Structure 1
Amino acid sequence: MRTRGGSRTTATGRGPGRRLSGAAVRSASGALAAVVVATPFLGAWSYESTRRAVSAQAAAPRAGQDALPGEIVRTRASAPVVLAYHDVNPEPTNDYTLTPRQLDAQLAKLEAAGYRSLTTEEFTRYLATGTTPAPHTVYLTFDDGTRGLWAHADQVLAKHKMHAASFLITGAVGTHRPYYLSWAEIDLMKSSGRWDFQDHTHLSHERAAIDAAGHQGSVLANRLWLADEERLETESEYRTRVRTDLDESLRAFSDHHLPAPQLFAYPFSETAGPTNLAARNTSVLERLLRERFTASLTNVSSRPLPAGPRAAAARQVQRLEVMRTTSTNTFAKQLNEWVSRSPDEVPEPLRNPEQWQFPGSPPGTGLAALTGKGVANGTYVSAVHLPMGTADWNTYRVSATVAGLSGTRTSASVEVGHGSLVPVTVTVSEAGVRVTERPSDGTARVTTGKIAPAARHRLNLEVSPGGVRVTVDGGHALVARATKVLDPARTSGGVSLAVRNEAGKAAAWPRFSALRISP
């Protein structure tokens, strides 16, 4: 659960050795004799303590009606979808806890659609090589290391022959029982072959004051307010604290004979949120993580980063978070939005309204807003086509026909490389075309041209890592991003559309009358 964190502890180091006095030796000898006498009793106590630290397991639920095969897309070969879970309990008390029946229904849908789960080793190998042991895969992750994974989720995994990764708050293991896992349970989970364990901090999965007013923030992503000293933690103190926490967590893995974790999950997924670190040092945490892990995982990102070349280059992977409120049908729908497609698998996106998202638009905005209806309030509307499923496109062609253009106060735009570090937007009006490049450094390069005035224009965009060639009505050509061949992971991304109408409510909206995508 997001708001839970372990209690703070301090590690006591061993000091240098010292010579014992005679009395001390005699005392030590007596203590040793006492230990010998007490050993059988201590052994029995230790066994009983360990036994109590292992909760009973519940059997996996029987399949219900909603566990029947669902409509999960199977493309020719898709990148893994990373699913983020938290706790599993038959009596959930928060939105981050699924019931065993919910988890069973979702895994049944994946199994019926032919999906295979990956181990962490297989997933990190995919990030490095782009290959998976099966064409349709998921990577199942569970944050926080709750006891429900052993007591309720484990047998559901066994039923569906799936594997999962538990991201541990190592300082919380064995505390707040029965909420968190014990080390004994972790050992049994490891032995089952169904689980591996990754990192979620030692004791930094909590919020604390980050300014004098008492505003709360993630302790991992912010300098803390030191109330006793009435000051903010220095950046040097911040680095030392975070470094110590991460290394303490890695030490806990080693001390309990677990393989060194390869992945790190951000507490609260606070990777893109506000931080009080100075602008020049906002990457301090990122550097500390890169020194210790192959990649980090988050549920919230400033741009789409599903598992794939783009995410591998960023060394940060975005996950699809599954909540208790996620119905089985919603689960299938969301998964379909994340499954990677090739350009020839979605040739006519305007025929598939469910493939479009309208970020920043009024609720209920649909594809009709782009095909002539517009919006009742406002002068601009935009939509993105499968931003997760197309994030790694880098070579494709877009053909679009725009109609209903009038004067300079109406226009329509096609963006390619959506969510990339170098997106390119082509905007056409009745008599002009504009190509805008927006590299990640915040600058903008704009190229304009005149075209024969008409209410209808046809755009063709040929996209490759080396550039974007734009042709209007088969004749006027402009080229963007052509100075050098860039890394495909920097330029990759799919398509977004926009229409603008500043001519007043009485004026007709421009519209996309055709859109085709091809390899």
Structure 2
Amino acid sequence: MRRDGLHGNRSRRTGKGRLLLRTALGLLAVAVVALPFTVAWQYDALRRTVAAQAAPPASAGAGAGADAKAAPAGSAPVVLAYHDIGPDGRSRYTVSLKNFDAQLRALRDAGYRTLSTEEFTDFLRSGRAPGPRTVYLTFDDGTHGLWTHADPVLAKYGMKAAAYLITGQVGTHRPYYLSWAEIERMARSGRWDFQAHTHLSHERAAVDAAGHERSAFTNRLWRADEGRVETSGEYRRRIAADLGRSVRDLVAHDLPRPRLFAYPFSERLDESNLGADDAEALRSLLRKRFAATLTNSAARPLPAGPRAAAAGQVQRLEITRDTTPAGLLRELARWAPVAPKDADRPLSRQAHWETTGDTGPAGPGVLTGDSRPPAGTDYVSADYRPLATADWTHYRLRAGADGLHGTSNSVGITVRAGSEHPVALSVGRNTASLTSGGPQGTGERRTCRLEPSATHRITVSVTPRQVRMSVDGDSCPAVRAGRWRVAEGAGGFSLGVRNDGPEQRWPRFTSLKVE
């Protein structure tokens, strides 16, 4: 009986053990099956997270009041390029909350109004200025600081901004990027609109066998498994798919179709490994989808205006951690368009000149002979306010030059500077010439003989259809425009002095007047 009882106890214990084992295995199976769904739920919850916003800082004093009063009233908006707002002092692209607040306060005190993307694109299309003092605030990448820090400050000052999203990164690497839920709330506020900054092409990747990395958007990538660079067709299909996905992502989240696109890293096409055909194909893909593109690093100065609208690309003023409110207003003054009649005594305004090339400081001092050009240099030139004069189409220059000796030196004037159709003038002791430039080296050259003299008086008249030059009252042949839009030939002017002879005898400009 006892043996039977022990056997029965063992049987019951064995049965319980098997039941516990089956239960444990069942729970494990459920957990394994549920794991992907749990992870997906947690990931989705993370993407839908809405973080608490930081309170905007209390305003301290009147900000950059004196600079605000001095800021000119430009007739075209200036586009400001921000990246992130927050406490991270490690990156030069993160503006502190305190500094951002002070910048917006300085803009408000100077009478600036912020534009929506719709207002800005309306300006590009019509050319009608939206007001005397306007800025278009843009933020690249879609970082979390836009919701937590920037939005409350915008609300404080009643301003608007546009966020350029890398749509494939939204909700990832939290809390670095915004979530779609935060984007939805920002859109509902009326302070924000959202534009395109690629889907997942905002990254650097290898472009050759050596592993050199460049922007994946503006370069054909290296295919390591095949030991080659991707073909033109592969590149174009990849970029078209990325742009399409970026647009679809925004529309799928009930946001308006994007009107503008910001280049990743603001890399220029002339610095990529794209050939001319691929670069044009990229521009064509962008033109089909967007009204214009934005960059912080254009090969030619293209602030918002008719020339930028004609080119379909607008240059932005980049704001970094070190940009002070007063510095911001000074930059806005530098970008503000001026009329030819407002170019007062240009040779006496050192700050209005920007050196071209790698010749060190040029400014009016080198052009007027008040300072010596750098050693080993045979040519020095400088642009006059290239951003402020980008849309000039009608103007006249009157200049005086002396110190012209033989054929070894000359003075130069380039009009329509920085445009697709510049005209370069060169005046020496015995001869003068006009040389027009254009795409793919198109252009023409006109020359005329001069009465030999070390001193000449030069007059240059610029209109959309022709450039005329006279020296000492005698006309030289004119250079006439081709069949291109007026805006494509708009631009201000630059001056240069050349001395390529063995003697250090530099010519100089003795006078300059703009009419």
Q: TM-score, normalised by structure 1?
A: 0.86
1:94 matched to 2:94? The reply is no
1: CA distance, partners of 2:262 / 2:60: 31
The one-letter amino acid of 2:485's match is: D
Q: 1:360 to 1:328 in 2, by over 3 A?
A: farther
Q: Which residue of 1 aligns with 2:395?
A: 396
Post-superposition shift, 1:55? Answer: 3.3
Post-superposition shift, 1:314? Answer: 0.9
The one-letter amino acid of 1:480's match is: V
Q: 1:505 to 1:337 in 2, by over 3 A?
A: farther
2: CA distance, partners of 1:428 / 1:158: 57
In the TM superposition, 1:218-297 aligns within 5 A as: 218-297=215-294
Q: Which residue of 2 aligns with 1:499?
A: 497
Q: 1:471 to 1:47 in 2, by over 3 A?
A: closer
Q: 1:87 to 1:225 in 2, by over 3 A?
A: same
2: CA distance, partners of 1:493 / 1:400: 18
The one-letter amino acid of 2:182's match is: E
In the TM superposition, 1:107-506 aligns within 5 A as: 107-372=104-369, 373-377=371-375, 378-482=377-481, 484=482, 486-504=484-502, 506=504
1: CA distance, partners of 2:57 / 2:502: 60
Post-superposition shift, 1:327? Answer: 3.1
For structure 1, the residue ranges without an aligned partner over 5 or more in a row are 1-43
- Structure with greater proportional helix content: 2
Post-superposition shift, 1:485? Answer: 6.2
Q: 1:210 to 1:300 in 2, by over 3 A?
A: same
1: CA distance, partners of 2:87 / 2:227: 45
2: CA distance, partners of 1:99 / 1:466: 49
Worse-matched range after superposition: 128-137 or 388-397: 128-137
Contact kept, 8 Å, 2:414 with 2:424, in 1: the verdict is yes
2: CA distance, partners of 1:386 / 1:357: 7
CA-to-partner distance for each residue in 1:434-493, whole Å, 9 max, x for gaps? 1111112214422111111222111111110110111111123321125x5642112100
Q: 1:72 to 1:95 in 2, by over 3 A?
A: farther
Q: Which residue of 2 aligns with 1:514?
A: 511
Worse-matched range after superposition: 361-370 or 463-472: 361-370
CA-to-partner distance for each residue in 1:381-408, whole Å, 9 max, x for gaps? 1000111111110111111111222222
Q: Which residue of 1 aligns with 2:21?
A: none
The one-letter amino acid of 1:434's match is: S
2: CA distance, partners of 1:230 / 1:376: 47
The one-letter amino acid of 2:283's match is: E
Post-superposition shift, 1:48? Answer: 7.8
2: CA distance, partners of 1:56 / 1:112: 25
Contact kept, 8 Å, 2:362 with 2:382, in 1: the verdict is no
2: CA distance, partners of 1:61 / 1:85: 22
Worse-matched range after superposition: 372-381 or 294-303: 372-381
CA-to-partner distance for each residue in 1:361-418, whole Å, 9 max, x for gaps? 4444432011112313112110001111111101111111112222221210111100
Name the SS of the counterpart of 1:441 in structure 2: helix
Post-superposition shift, 1:504? Answer: 4.1
CA-to-partner distance for each residue in 1:73-95, whole Å, 9 max, x for gaps? 65565111111110111232211
Name the SS of the counterpart of 1:229 in structure 2: coil
Post-superposition shift, 1:160? Answer: 2.3
Name the SS of the counterpart of 2:447 in structure 1: strand
2: CA distance, partners of 1:242 / 1:297: 17
Post-superposition shift, 1:50? Answer: 7.7
Name the SS of the counterpart of 2:101 in structure 1: helix
2: CA distance, partners of 1:452 / 1:240: 61
Name the SS of the counterpart of 1:301 in structure 2: coil
The one-letter amino acid of 1:203's match is: L
Worse-matched range after superposition: 54-63 or 89-98: 54-63
Post-superposition shift, 1:295? Answer: 0.8
Name the SS of the counterpart of 1:426 in structure 2: strand
Name the SS of the counterpart of 1:122 in structure 2: helix
Q: 1:315 to 1:94 in 2, by over 3 A?
A: same
1: CA distance, partners of 2:43 / 2:225: 41
1: CA distance, partners of 2:230 / 2:147: 38
Post-superposition shift, 1:225? Answer: 1.5
Post-superposition shift, 1:163? Answer: 0.8
The one-letter amino acid of 1:405's match is: L
Name the SS of the counterpart of 1:280 in structure 2: helix
Name the SS of the counterpart of 2:225 in structure 1: helix
- Bigger radius of gyration among the two: 2
Q: Give % identity.
A: 48
The one-letter amino acid of 1:116's match is: R
Contact kept, 8 Å, 1:122 with 1:132, in 2: the verdict is no
Contact kept, 8 Å, 2:56 with 2:101, in 1: the verdict is no
Name the SS of the counterpart of 1:114 in structure 2: coil
The one-letter amino acid of 1:354's match is: A
CA-to-partner distance for each residue in 1:76-126, whole Å, 9 max, x for gaps? 651111111101112322111111222222222222222211100000000
**RMSD over aligned Cα atoms:** 2.4
CA-to-partner distance for each residue in 1:150-209, whole Å, 9 max, x for gaps? 111112222222111000001111111111111111111111111111000011100111
Aligned length: 476
2: CA distance, partners of 1:309 / 1:401: 32
Say which of 60, 64, 71 aligns to 1:63: 60
Q: TM-score, normalised by structure 2?
A: 0.87
